[in-house]
Amino acid sequence: MNTSTNGKVAIVTGASRGIGAAIAKRLAEDGFAVVVNYASSSKEADALVAELAASGAKAIVVKADVAKPDEVRAMFATAEAQLGKIDVLVNNAGVLKTVPLAETSDALYDQTFDINVRGTFNTLREAAARLADGGRIVNFSSTTLALNMPGYAVYNATKAAVEAFTHVFAKELRGRNITVNAVAPGPIATSLFLDGKTDEQIQAFAKMPPLQRLGQPEDIASVVAFLVSPDSGWVNGQILRANGGLA
Ligand code: NAP
């Protein structure tokens, strides 16, 4: 257990599955009390909190659609009431559907921007008022932003917005000793990446990084663990591209 993070409070959005669940587990191991946020996968979120509690960690589950400002406000209020002042916000919740721009429906555009951009905006705005001085914020971009592959126009546009938030918000929090950074993962073996791809497509992605494998959720959880720890205290306003050297 990392004694310098012991007892601190972290909100991880989209922690029911995938990378978020791995982050919640890792931060719990590092001594954080963890808020496991989710929008619809209640069984997975409940099971994760039960697993964390069984291992002696403090964890609560909070349902909130990050796209809805009132639900985000309520999530922060519940977290504060049950665990105390919040030290860390990890903006992991996100969605991806790869569709050529010309075939993207209004509904898919709205959903992707609502969750990936408005969701991050909602939690950042709330964090400005509520995060403890000395806290940490980690946003989620993607290495796809650097690859410019067909089908990723809308998703990449949302991640470009998240990177812009990261750079500007780090400066707006001047004087609070709060760092704001983003992780930009390469392909990670979660349902967001795997769903809808053939085995051949998955293998092609796995061969792209010089490290010649897909990333695992734990590869990103360890990067987030660093960015929320005292060891990263001088890293601020940066995008950390954790992708096996892909781009
Ligand atoms: P995932 O396996 O599909 O999990 C997504 C998580 O986000 C789930 O826990 C889901 O919870 C939650 N979520 C979705 N909509 C939400 C909402 N409106 N409010 C709150 N939670 C919501 O995805 P992942 O691969 O772990 O991705 C996590 C982050 O990494 C995303 O920001 C993604 O863009 C980024 N990323 C992933 C990859 C990759 O290759 N996997 C690469 C680059 C970047 P519910 O099921 O409860 O809705």
Instruction: Read off the pLDDT band of 221 (50, 70, 90).
Output: very high
Q: What is the pLDDT of residues 49-91, one digit of tens each?
A: 999 999 999 999 999 999 999 999 999 999 999 999 999 999 9
Q: 138: which strand partners?
A: 90, 181
* DSSP string across 133-165: EEEEEEEE--THHHH--TT-HHHHHHHHHHHHH
CA 15/CA 214 separation, integer angstroms: 20
Residue 169 forms beta bridges with which residues? Answer: none
How many Cβ atoms from other residues are within 10 Å of residue 8's Cβ? 25
Query: Exposed/middle/buried for 245, CB within 10 Å: 0-12, 13-18, 19+?
Result: exposed
Domain 9-242: give its CATH superfamily: NAD(P)-binding Rossmann-like Domain (3.40.50.720)
Which of 192, 208, 214, 239 is the best mutation target for the ligand 1 pocket, counting ligand atoms within 8 Å of the beta carbon and taking the most?
192
Residue 197 neighbours by CB distance under 10 Å: 14
User: For the whole model, what pTM was predicted?
Assistant: 0.98
Atom of ligand 1 minimally distant from the CA of 15: 9
Rounded average pLDDT over 39-54: 98
Ligand 1 neighbours, Cβ below 6 Å, are: 13-20, 37-41, 65-67, 92-96, 115, 119, 140, 142, 185, 187-188, 190-193
From the CA of 33, how far away is ligand 1's center (Å)? Answer: 21
Q: Nearest 5°: CA angle at 8, between 6 and 10?
A: 125
SS3 of 9, please? Answer: strand
Please tell me the distance between residue 6's alpha carbon and the centre of ligand 1 in angstroms. 26
b/e 133-165 (16+ beta carbons within 10 angstroms → b): eebbbbbbbbbbbbeeeebbbbbbbbbebbbeb
Q: What is the mean pLDDT of residues 149-159?
A: 98
152 among known catalytic residues: no
pLDDT in tens, 173-211: 999 999 999 999 999 999 999 999 999 999 999 999 999
- Reply yes or no on whether the pLDDT at 164 is more than 70: yes
How many Å lie between the centroid of ligand 1 and the Cα of residue 175? 31
pLDDT of residue 2: 58
> From residue 29, how far is each of 51, 63, 130, 136, 137 by CA, in Å?
12, 22, 24, 17, 19
3 — pLDDT class (breaks 50, 70, 90): low
Residue nearest ligand 1's atom 33 by CA: 94
Catalytic residue among 38, 109, 152, 155: 155
CA nearest to 209, candidates 231, 228, 189, 239: 189
Cα 152 from Cα 145, distance rounded (Å): 8
Q: Are 102 and 153 in contact (CB under 8 A)?
A: no
- Tens digits of per-residue pLDDT, 108-121? 999 999 999 999 99
Report the percentage of the chain scoring pLDDT > 70: 99
CA R_g for the chain: 17
Annotated domain spans of the chain: 9-242
Choosing from 11, 13, 17 the residue with most ligand 1 atoms within 8 A of its CB, the one to mutate for a pocket test is 17
pLDDT score at 4 = 80
Q: Map tokens 């939690």 to a residue.
A: 123
**String of DSSP letters for 42-109:** HHHHHHHHHHHHHTT--EEEEE--TT-HHHHHHHHHHHHHHH-SEEEEEE---------GGG--HHHH
Give the pLDDT band (50/70/90) at residue 5: confident
